[in-house]
Amino acid sequence: MQTSYQVIARRWRPKQFEELVGQEHIVRTLKNAIDQNRIAHAYLLVGPRGTGKTSTARLFAQALNCENGPSVDIPKDSEICQAILTGSCMDVIEIDGASNNSVDQVRQLRDDCQYSPTQCRFKIYIIDEVHMLSNQAFNALLKTLEEPPAHVKFIFATTEAHKVIPTIVSRCQRFEFRPISNDVIVDKLRLIADSEKVTISDEALFSIARLANGGMRDAQSTFDQMISFCGETITQEDILNVYGLAGPEQIREIAQSITEANYKNLLSYVNNLADEGRDLYRILVDLQSFFRQVLIDQIQDKKSKLLDYHMSSESLMRVLDVLHSGETSVQRGLSGKVNFEITLLKAVEQSRSRAIDTLIKEITGITSKLPASGDKKKITESHQKVSNQSRDEESVKLGEEKSDLQNDSNSALTENNNSADKNSISTNKNLELNNLVAKIPESTKNVLTELMHGKFCEVKVFDKNSLV
């Protein structure tokens, strides 16, 4: 008789603590608790889906109830351990919190706790999705959870720890399961692919890991589905087509169009992606990851190699804020494509805008480099001396004109020298002003120029004598 097919996620479920990847801090704590005989009566396992909560609960139950236990080394040929894995052990009871959440069912559990285990060392209750229990059921469990019989252990697992009442949490040892990194998922999938004799590229493995969002079970399920679709050879293009993802180069091109404010290319990319049936929400999430990496690169290395166009950290944070705020409208809106286009266009506008406080800081930095008050005083005194000199020269010139008309040539020469001095002073002022203007950033110049054009039509120099 042909046996039924068992999916990869079940066949590759960890059977030893060393096979539990991505949760080294939890493995170390549980192994030390077993070695030091410091086993608590209640544990609360918290974390995202597919990160190993139920597998950890079963491994811990096997380590406590194996024939030579408690032991961190779980024997492979142990009948009790095999019964726990298959769910046929009478002393390890797995309960679904979603369908057993009433007070009467918790009272039945409380009564069963009083009986000794039939074949194992401990009677262990594993309650999955414990947050689904009602408040009355939680309250009915409080006394037993605080002072259970010596042979009873509780292991709770949940993805929403905030829904578990504090009086339950305070009676348990809490373990936080982290999302598994993409590198760890890729290494595990590579091991499975070699064992299954499947050829798959590294780019395809990273696409699966990116799609899994930190969940090992999700990655293994996706890999299992791709084997059914592609057979023994899997490419990145197959994964992108099946799950409607955009490739890394497409994400980079969209980001490049946002930074360059190239509206035509941006709308063209969106139309092509929509026509190909790509997941626009997933593309939006990938764009956030891309700009986040650009921001981190700029903070650490002052320049990112992912984009050809340089953007300030402030502009990158504005773009990330717009992309994040558009998630709900793209995912749940009536027209995902329209909302996606609007979100990208808003991101373009935000990438080109400047905050007023940043402009003030830049202008303040420029003005701080001007001469100090003491220097200004010296400059004022020198200007007064020059003006007094010019007045004395004018009075002398008038006296000379009244006394003797023969000195006209000398007076004309004096006037030419005075005008040359004034022109040199004016030239120096213009040079100083041009130097200050050159220090202003180009973006600040553009903002000030647009502000001036918005308030004034034209700027001209008028002759004072022609004014009425």
Could you give phi then psi for residue 54, rounded to 5 degrees? -65, -40
241, 309, 310, 422, 447 from 263: Cα distances, Å:
26, 15, 18, 52, 21
* Residue 51 near residue 216 (C-beta atoms within 8 A): yes
337 pLDDT more than 50: yes
Quick one: how far is CA 340 from the chain centroid? 19
pLDDT digits (tens, 9 = 90+) for 95-130: 998 888 888 888 888 888 889 998 899 999 999 999
66: left (phi over 0), alpha (psi -120 to 50) or beta: beta
Amino acid at 456: F
pLDDT value, residue 413: 46
**Furthest-apart CA atoms within the chain: distance in Å:** 137
Residue with tokens 């308030």: 455
User: Which residue would you say has higher pLDDT here, 431 or 148?
Assistant: 148
Amino acid at 220: Q
Range with the poorest average pLDDT among 17-21, 383-387, 446-450: 383-387
Q: What is the DSSP string of 332-370?
A: HSS-HHHHHHHHHHHHHHHHH---HHHHHHHHHHHHTTS
pLDDT value, residue 379: 45
Could you give phi then psi for residue 160, rounded to 5 degrees? -130, 80
pLDDT value, residue 301: 75
Q: What is the mean pLDDT of the chain?
A: 82
- CA separation for the pair 255, 287 (Å, rounded): 7
pLDDT value, residue 417: 54
pLDDT value, residue 194: 93
Range with the poorest average pLDDT among 46-50, 329-333, 372-376: 372-376
Q: How are the residues of the chain apportioned to helix, strand and coil, as percentages rounded to the nearest 5?
A: 65, 5, 30
pLDDT value, residue 334: 80
pLDDT value, residue 356: 61
* Residue 281 near residue 330 (C-beta atoms within 8 A): yes
Domains and CATH numbers, the chain: 8-176 (3.40.50.300), 182-243 (1.10.8.60), 248-353 (1.20.272.10)
375 pLDDT more than 60: no
Q: Indicate the pLDDT class of residue 398, thresholds 50, 70 and 90.
A: very low
Residues with Cβ within 8 Å of 214's Cβ and at least 6 positions away in sequence, in order, are 48, 50, 51, 178, 179, 180, 181, 185
- CA separation for the pair 208, 228 (Å, rounded): 15
DSSP H stretches of helix in 261-403: 263-275, 280-301, 313-325, 327-332, 336-352, 356-367, 373-403
- CA separation for the pair 88, 80 (Å, rounded): 9
pLDDT value, residue 406: 47
Instruction: Give percent of the chain above pLDDT 70.
Output: 78
Q: What is the dihedral of CA 277, 278, 282, 285, to 10 degrees?
A: -130
Question: Which long-range contacts link 272-281 to residues 24+ away (Cβ below 8 Å)?
Answer: 273/246, 274/337, 276/244, 277/244, 278/244, 278/245, 278/246, 279/243, 279/244, 279/245, 280/330, 280/336, 280/337, 280/340, 281/327, 281/330, 281/331, 281/336
Range with the poorest average pLDDT among 87-101, 339-353, 373-387: 373-387
- CA separation for the pair 342, 325 (Å, rounded): 11
Q: Indicate the pLDDT class of residue 182, thresholds 50, 70 and 90.
A: very high
